[in-house]
Amino acid sequence: AEASSDSDGKPDDDDDDDTGLTEEEVVLAKTIAESPESEQSVQKAALVLRLREGIGSLGRILKTIENFKGIITHVESRASKKEGLQFEVLIKIDMSRQSLLQLIRNLRQSSALDGVTLLADNSVSIKDPWFPRHASDLDNCNHLMTKYEPDLDMNHPGFADKEYRARRKVIAEIAFAYKYGEPIPCIPYTETENETWSRVFITVLDLVPKHACVEYQRVFKKLQEERIFESHRIPQLQEVSDFLKRNTGFTLRPAAGLLTARDFLSSLAFRVFQSTQYVRHINSPYHTPEPDCIHELLGHMPLLADPSFAQFSQEIGLASLGASDEEIEKLSTIYWFTIEFGLCKEGTEVKAYGAGLLSAYGELLHALSDKCEHRPFDPSTTALQKYQDQEYQPIYFVAESFEDAKEKFRRWVAAMSRPFEVRYNPHTQRVEVLDSV
Ligand code: HBI
Ligand code: NLE
Ligand code: FE
């Protein structure tokens, strides 16, 4: 860029250390380097290296790139006009973002080099952002939010409980180590953990007939008949995942905690639900702001086994792939006020279908009382509603039905800015990208 072409006073016309890549591509290289998603996935990158002492050191440098597991696809060198810098070398590499960043750090320390510039490869375009294309790509989507960590948050009920914190670590490790296709490890839950489950389960069982929507009740019964839901023990994620698979094709994968909204939503596109596996602290059984497996199991599982609801969930996921940050925020808000805290009409009555209500006895009663406000679900206004996740919600949105919510959601998504369409192919289990321009 840089000083030399500016200092000679002439316009910067593709001589010197400029390799003919546009400014746009350089910006793109930066966004790739900064994007949080694709740490493990292989990407195309191009580096311009300025060699200090002739081409002789190139061999060593290529070796270094190979050591960092980069696959070199192109090498081009030319003499530099800059004084003291004898060669400039353009190297195109396929490698994971993480290794690329390590490589660049390593090269910058080399005395043989006077500079390293990262450029984008022409084949990477802005219209083609990275997002998972197959459920196995979700192995790369494990980015946690730094929220509700019992280790870090003094208000967490587990903060002062050393044993609880150690337990959370063990269970989180299982999720971090998990890879697509593996069975979900079984957790032998402790007596205390099963006791916490029992308390919540019994209260929910009591309220379901009156307050839960019929779809929830239907699957809940089925789960009881199949002895997956029992009051004395926490179901294992694997058996619940098998149950979902038989009913709607949804499966579970273990999540270490609260994922970023982008990672969390993208899984839904593949009918994969990221489920925590740890249990809330025994001291706060009836309400916790963070998701735990009691919330996932009692709140989410019944409706993920309902075909219409499963379809709605997947469509939110598909809409999130390649969406902008602002759109992700809106989709999260819609997720929040439907799947998490949604109410729906049933004849003249209002029932709960949101998982955060069906796993929290206190809030379920609150949501159906006159202490809060009910508004009709309408994606364009619901998507803009601010919310907090600490206390009971002051506002809930009421859908006419799942079918109606889906219809309205589809019309709203169609107006999103994405320059391409995505479609899930159930035969290959891949997301296909269709250019619409
Ligand atoms: N991560 N594990 C997990 N569980 C959630 O329910 C969850 C999440 N990350 C983000 C998130 N929910 C919300 O932003 C949703 O509104 C998308
Ligand atoms: N408040 C819910 C519960 O206590 O079960 C969890 C909500 C997670 C978003
Ligand atoms: Fe949830």
Q: Cβ contacts of residue 286 below 8 Å, gap of 6+?
A: 199, 200, 203, 360, 361, 362
Check if 427 is active-site. Answer: no
Q: With a 6 A CB cut-off, is 287 part of the ligand 2 pocket?
A: yes
Q: Which of 88-92, 240-244, 274-278, 384-388 shows the lowest mean pLDDT across its residues? A: 88-92
In this structure, the number of other CB atoms found within 10 A of the CB of residue 266 comes to 28
Q: Which residue has the higher pLDDT, 385 or 45?
A: 385
Give the residue, out of 234, 281, 359, with the most ligand 2 atoms within 8 A of its beta carbon, to mutate for a pocket test. Answer: 359
User: Could you tell me where the beta strands, DSSP code E, fall in 80-203?
Assistant: 87-96, 113-119
CA of 257 to the centre of ligand 1 (A): 9
Nearest CA to ligand 2 atom 9: 291
| pLDDT average, residue stretch 422-436 | 87
Interatomic CA distance for residues 237 and 175, integer angstroms? 12
Say yes or no to pLDDT of 4 above 50.
Answer: no
Say yes or no to pLDDT of 345 above 90.
Answer: yes
Name the 3-class secondary structure at 343. strand
Here the tokens at position 293 are 């497996």
- How would residue 42 be classed by pLDDT, with cut points 50, 70 and 90? confident
**Could you identify the residue written with the tokens 């379901």?**
208
Output the pLDDT for position 361.
87
Q: With a 6 A CB cut-off, is 276 part of the ligand 2 pocket?
A: no
Percent of the chain whose pLDDT exceeds 70: 86
Output the pLDDT for position 153.
79
Helices (H), 248-386: 261-268, 293-294, 301-304, 307-320, 325-335, 355-358, 361-367, 379-382
CA of 296 to the centre of ligand 2 (A): 9
| pLDDT average, residue stretch 397-418 | 92
300 neighbors 356 (Cβ within 8 angstroms)? no
Q: How many residues does the chain have?
A: 437
Q: With a 6 A CB cut-off, is 317 part of the ligand 2 pocket?
A: no
Output the pLDDT for position 13.
41
User: Which ligand is closest in space to the CA of residue 359?
Assistant: 2
Closest CA to 252 of 227, 231, 235: 235
101, amino acid identity = L
Closest CA to 244 of 263, 262, 270, 265: 270
Q: Which of 59-68, 200-209, 304-313 shows the lowest mean pLDDT across its residues? A: 59-68
Interatomic CA distance for residues 32 and 189, integer angstroms? 41
Closest CA to 278 of 298, 264, 257, 304: 257
Q: With a 6 A CB cut-off, is 360 part of the ligand 2 pocket?
A: yes
Packed helices 58-67 and 97-108: angle between N→C axes, nearest 10 degrees: 150
Output the pLDDT for position 16.
41
Interatomic CA distance for residues 185 and 275, integer angstroms? 13
Q: Which of 267, 275, 320, 359 is catalytic?
A: 359
Give the residue, out of 274, 282, 287, with the most ligand 2 atoms within 8 A of its beta carbon, to mutate for a pocket test. Answer: 287
Here the tokens at position 16 are 């010197």
In this structure, the number of other CB atoms found within 10 A of the CB of residue 25 comes to 19
Provide the 8-state DSSP code for 134.
Answer: B
- For 164-192, the pLDDT digits (tens) are 999 999 999 999 999 999 999 999 999 99
Check if 436 is active-site. Answer: no
- Report ipTM for this prediction: 0.98
Nearest CA to ligand 2 atom 4: 287
Interatomic CA distance for residues 100 and 371, integer angstroms? 54
Residue-wise over 399-430: b if at least 16 C-beta within 10 A, else e?
A: beebeebbebbeebbeeeebeeebebeeeeeb
Q: Which of 10-14, 115-119, 290-294, 388-392 shows the lowest mean pLDDT across its residues? A: 10-14
Nearest CA to ligand 1 atom 3: 258
| pLDDT average, residue stretch 13-19 | 42
Say yes or no to pLDDT of 289 above 50.
Answer: yes
- How would residue 83 be classed by pLDDT, with cut points 50, 70 and 90? low
- How would residue 3 be classed by pLDDT, with cut points 50, 70 and 90? very low
CA of 274 to the centre of ligand 2 (A): 15
Output the pLDDT for position 40.
60
Interatomic CA distance for residues 393 and 372, integer angstroms? 8
| pLDDT average, residue stretch 324-334 | 95
Q: With a 6 A CB cut-off, is 278 part of the ligand 1 pocket?
A: no
Q: With a 6 A CB cut-off, is 319 part of the ligand 1 pocket?
A: no
Mean pLDDT over each residue of the chain, to the nearest integer: 87
| pLDDT average, residue stretch 5-27 | 45
Output the pLDDT for position 14.
40
Q: Which of 14-18, 75-79, 164-168 shows the lowest mean pLDDT across its residues? A: 14-18
Minimum-distance ligand 1 atom for the alpha carbon of 333: 16
Say yes or no to pLDDT of 35 above 70.
Answer: no
| pLDDT average, residue stretch 347-375 | 96
Here the tokens at position 70 are 């980069």
Q: Which of 37, 88, 193, 340 is catalytic?
A: 340
- How would residue 323 be classed by pLDDT, with cut points 50, 70 and 90? very high
pTM over 0.95: no
- How would residue 202 be classed by pLDDT, with cut points 50, 70 and 90? very high
